[in-house]
Amino acid sequence: MKNKKYNWKKAILKSNATIKSAIQNLIDTSLQIVLIISKNQKLIGTVTDGDIRRGILAGADLNDKVEKIMKRDPIKITNELDKKTIKFMMRANSLLQLPIVDENNRIKGLHLWNDYFNKELKENTIVIMAGGFGKRMMPETKSTPKPMLKVNNKPILEHIIINIRDYGFKNIVITTHYLRDTIKKYFKDGKKLGVNIIYTNEKKPLGTCGALSLIKIKKNEPIIVTNGDVISDINFAEILKYHKFHNADATIAVRNINQQNQFGVIESNGIEVKDIIEKPVMKIPVNAGIYVLNKNLIKRIPKNKSMDMTNFLLNLKKNKKKVVIFPIHEVWKDIGRPSDIKKN
């Protein structure tokens, strides 16, 4: 099936490409798949967002070859199949993409779910925590709430909302406190951006979690929570799917950052030196400020009392709830200092 909206050929990478290249390809093409070919141009594997996350969890480095994490011998079809059969195969195998190959296993095209099925709007609520004072951002936040500071000529909140919308979500709650009218006047009900926005006002600061106690959610579906000062291309649909697949009570988005040790590190076996590494760069997993929570957890948050998300999640662990991590590789920027605004 030929679709003028995308160029599937741009999704092709050779097997000696790096995982980092595959991530960039996913971002550039928006096809949510990379097609891996051999030296003789034959399809030997595919890489999706989920494959990359599983690879990171298993310890893969972004400079490793993509063949280390690719799905080998993926499901594919020849171009002779009719539309009904293609739809059946995609439904039966839960495929968002289905490569087309010739008799020599060379790629000739790509079927996408959205070519055959209407894009599903998700009913889950996404909560954006935007009530903080942004004290570290002074003087920029003296008359502007931190989530309304502009990055690339758009408020931080607008970047977040657009990403939410682009992944098929429309129901948004924004928690407000400091200079709340500035946020409400700019976004109103959200219709100009194609979403539905309602607002919850914190009469006093309730931390990064406490405001959730004020929110009324009708549907018994997990909610997604994101800090209002984090710009990311995170796939909200994927983190929700991941959360459900792992039967989690809570999911934390985690980003690996590289931090260089200021000292040389000694590796030893007892008193015998094995290796000396001069100022090694270490991968440190950090909280990305994005979460998925089962709705029934909200009742555990005390009303009108300040609570941070970190303490809430630790309490869940103490009470034997399943809390898992979701590694993200997408663009992620925590706006914490005035210099973070000036860099963009």
Lowest mean pLDDT among 38-42, 93-97, 193-197, 306-310: 93-97
pLDDT tens digit sequence for 112-131: 887 877 666 788 999 999 98
Q: Residues 327-337: what's their mean pLDDT?
A: 79
Higher pLDDT, 185 or 140: 185
- Whether the predicted pLDDT of 168 surpasses 50: yes
Q: Give the orientation angle of helix 49-57 with respect to helix 236-245, to 10 degrees.
A: 60
pLDDT for 1: 37
- Whether the predicted pLDDT of 3 surpasses 50: no
- Whether the predicted pLDDT of 38 surpasses 70: yes
For β-strands 122-129 and 169-176, DSSP reports them as parallel
Across the chain, what does the average pLDDT equal?
Answer: 88
pLDDT for 74: 92
pLDDT tens digit sequence for 89-112: 888 887 889 999 998 999 999 998
Kindly report the number of other CB atoms within 10 A of residue 65's CB atom: 17
- Whether the predicted pLDDT of 341 surpasses 80: no
- Find out whether the peptide bond into 222 is cis, omega within 30 degrees of 0: no
* Coil, helix or strand at residue 271: coil
Tokens found for residue 206: 């309730």
pLDDT for 5: 57
E strand or H helix at 325: strand 323-327
Q: Residues 145-173: what's their mean pLDDT?
A: 91
CA dist., res. 52 & res. 147, Å (int): 30
Tokens found for residue 141: 């936040």
pLDDT band at 142 (very low <50, low <70, confident <90, very high): confident
* Coil, helix or strand at residue 2: coil
Token pair 């300040």 is found at 306
Length of the chain: 344
CA dist., res. 73 & res. 45, Å (int): 6
pLDDT for 321: 96
Token pair 């990403």 is found at 163
pLDDT for 107: 93
DSSP state of 104: T
CA dist., res. 35 & res. 112, Å (int): 13
Tokens found for residue 65: 């070859």
pLDDT band at 4 (very low <50, low <70, confident <90, very high): very low
How wide is the angle at C-alpha 172 spanned by C-alphas 166 and 173, nearest 5°? 155
pLDDT tens digit sequence for 269-326: 888 888 888 888 878 889 999 999 999 999 999 988 999 999 999 999 999 999 999 9
pLDDT for 11: 93
pLDDT band at 2 (very low <50, low <70, confident <90, very high): very low
Domains contained in the chain, CATH given? 8-116 (3.10.580.10), 122-342 (3.90.550.10)
Higher pLDDT, 261 or 73: 73
Higher pLDDT, 127 or 263: 127
Kindly report the number of other CB atoms within 10 A of residue 203's CB atom: 8
For β-strands 154-155 and 265-269, DSSP reports them as unpaired
CA dist., res. 147 & res. 155, Å (int): 7
Residue type, 60: A
Q: What percent of the chain has pLDDT over 70?
A: 95
Give Cα separations from 159 to 137, 141, 148, 190, 330 (angstroms).
18, 18, 10, 13, 14
Q: Are 179 and 144 in contact (CB under 8 A)?
A: yes
CA dist., res. 283 & res. 272, Å (int): 26
Please choose, from the candidates 205, 173, 200, 178, the residue with its C-alpha nearest in 3D space to the C-alpha of residue 308: 205
> Within 13 Å and on the Cβ side, how many CA atoms surround 30?
8
pLDDT for 140: 78
Q: What percent of the chain has pLDDT over 90?
A: 53
